Amino acid sequence: MALTLPYDIWCLIAKFLSKPELLKLYSVNLAFFDLVMNEEYREVKVYHIEDERTRRCLKNMGPVVATRVRSLILRPYFLDDPLNNPKASFGRKMLTYVQQVGKPIESSILVKQISCMTEVTSLTIGCYWWDDIRLFNSKLAASLVTTALSIQRSRLRSLSLSIPLEAYPNIIATTPVLESLEELSITLRVTHFTTVYEEIFSLIIKFIDRHSGTLHTLTVDTPHRRVAPFHFFNNLGQLPKLRKLTVHYPVNHLLPQHPTGIDAFLRNHASQLEEFSFHICDLFANYFLPTPNEVFSHPILLIPMPRLASLELCLFQWAGAVHRNSMADNLLKYLHPMRKTLSRFALHNHALIFPEIKSIVLAIGGPESQLTDLELQVHLSTHDLFDLLSHQLPQLHRLEVGFEVLNKEDDGSIAFHNTQPNAWPDTRGFEFPQAMAGRTYADWKLRHLAIPTYNGCGKWNETKALLAVALPSVITFNGLSPEEFVKISDYTKPY
């Protein structure tokens, strides 16, 4: 009877199985075999012929298996090395590999296999800052990228170009229109200081314009200050279906004398955006960071977005009572207009104290709140935090809390007197289990909790058990069931 169940039912059953358990069931029936094969070959990474994952791709993947691939990651920076070793061509490397495995393989097999991956919906092309762009621009690497973009033109939904600006002309100039492209992620960085990137901006903008009818997610990463993306954002056209925007921006370009163009782009799309993520980066290259008043008075954070449901801010840690108070006040003012629409809020790279959390939760909580997903970083994790959130945000579905130390209480003084976690006494962690003992949040709708397990001061065994009892409605702790979570070893115990 079980073997005659519809395939869709087997798919539902498989959702309740962990990947290791699922892989053991490939021989049960054809349905499980198909599910296991799909899971095994869902993602393929092609690097170089000395990489084990690439070898598996070369050796085991036939045309039928290739159609199971849904996510393809190409980083072909070392497939051909004509600069450092002219005689060590790709064919020579392939011959060496063939001699090792005893199976003849032609040098064009990678291109052929990629041409068989006709069901790919997500493609990532990578040439990172430690890679040699000259190798990335080799003929074989170019043919791999061109083949991947051409074969998946009708099915590709997500494209990530994590490459330097110097590599864009060789890729997007010949790329056909990707008919189903919905998500695009681009990186704006240069390998050489002398690169004139404004002309490359024009090529990227034309590429985006050709897909304006289908794009609903755009990510623009400007990792360092070598590139000023004003002309890119200022000349970027209207994207009528855009719903999600993620921007990684270098902190020094947030100064008033540096126009960003992001505010103009945001203003044109503010009425349609539902998700916005703003990440301030390149912090270590700057000694003078802007104050909270300067950050929150920037035009980027002054654009009202009436439909915004998800907000993610990645800022930095301000020290001192004046800056901390200013940060809290500015954040409250920024969040207040969104209190009735936000279903998700995430604040990263800035650890909060309990009085600040209380002010934020009171501002975005209450009966009108739609918030179901919250991510925060705190100095001290206390029972007061769970008391507050369960009372003010009873509808919260997912909570992620990063903390530095477990403690009995948090009066806020720790942020002003000692912000060095390694200087805090280990005895703090011993007070948290005492405070949590006997507490329960049975009426809280929380289903998923994510917390770090490396700051437990040797008391994680007690803490995990108390959390599992106190939160009976939680389905997963760090992605694990309560039973699996409790069994995790306590690596914070002193030896």
Give the model confidence (pLDDT) of 327-371 as tens digits: 989 999 999 999 999 999 999 998 888 889 999 998 888 888 899
Cβ contact 283:251 at 8 Å? yes
DSSP designation for 352: B
Return the pLDDT at 425.
45
Task: Identify the DSSP state of 480.
Answer: B
**Listed ranges 70-84, 199-213, 358-372, 392-406; the one with the highest mean pLDDT:** 199-213
pLDDT at 205 over 80: yes
pTM of the predicted structure, to 2 decimals? 0.83
Range of the domain at 18: 1-40
Query: Both tokens of residue 241?
Result: 């279906």
The confidence band for 99, taking pLDDT boundaries of 50, 70 and 90, is very low
**Domain membership flag for residue 90:** no
> For the packed helices 460-470 and 428-436, what is the interaxial angle rounded to 10 degrees?
30
pLDDT tens across 444-479, in order? Answer: 999 999 988 776 566 777 888 888 999 999 999 999
> For the residues 129-137, what does the mean pLDDT come to?
78
Residue 49 lies in a domain: no
Of 86-90, 301-305, 388-392, the least confident: 86-90
Lookup: tokens for 432: 């948290």
Band of residue 113 on the pLDDT scale cut at 50, 70, 90: confident
- Give the number of domains in the chain: 2
Q: What is the pLDDT of residue 215?
A: 97
- Give me the helix-helix angle, 109-116 and 139-151, nearest 10°: 10
Any domain includes 86: no
Judge whether residue 90 has pLDDT over 50. Answer: no
Q: What residue ranges in 130-231 does DSSP mark as E strands? A: 158-162, 183-187, 217-221
Of 45, 10, 19, nearest in space to 479 by CA: 19
The answer to the question of residue 75 being in a domain is no
Span 100-111, average pLDDT: 53
CATH number at residue 340: 3.80.10
Q: Does position 424 have pLDDT exceeding 50, yes or no?
A: no
pLDDT at residue 418, as a whole number: 45
Domain-embedded: residue 157: no
Q: What is the reported pLDDT for 265?
A: 96
Q: What's the pLDDT at 98?
A: 42
Residues 6+ apart with CB under 8 A from 381: 401, 403, 405, 406, 407, 432, 451
The predicted structure's pLDDT at residue 102: 38
Cα–Cα distance measured from residue 464 to residue 229, given in angstroms and rounded to the nearest whole number: 46
Q: Say if 400 falls within a structural domain.
A: yes
Q: pLDDT tens digit string along 207-224?
A: 999 999 999 999 999 998
250 in any annotated domain: no
- Whether residue 86 is predicted with pLDDT greater than 50 in this model: the reply is no
Task: Between 150 and 319, name the one with better pLDDT.
Answer: 150
* pLDDT for residue 104 is more than 50: no
Confidence of residue 84 (pLDDT cuts 50, 70, 90): very low
Averaged pLDDT, 109-130: 85
Cα angle for residues 213, 217, 221 (degrees, 5° grid):
125
Rounded Cα distance, 23 and 14, in Å: 10
Question: CA 193 to CA 210: how far, in whole Å?
Answer: 29
pLDDT tens for 173-188 read: 888 899 999 999 999 9
SS3 378: strand
CA atoms within 13 A on the CB side of 179: 6
Residues in the chain: 495
How far is it between the farthest Cα atoms of the chain? 72
Assess whether pLDDT exceeds 60 at residue 305: yes
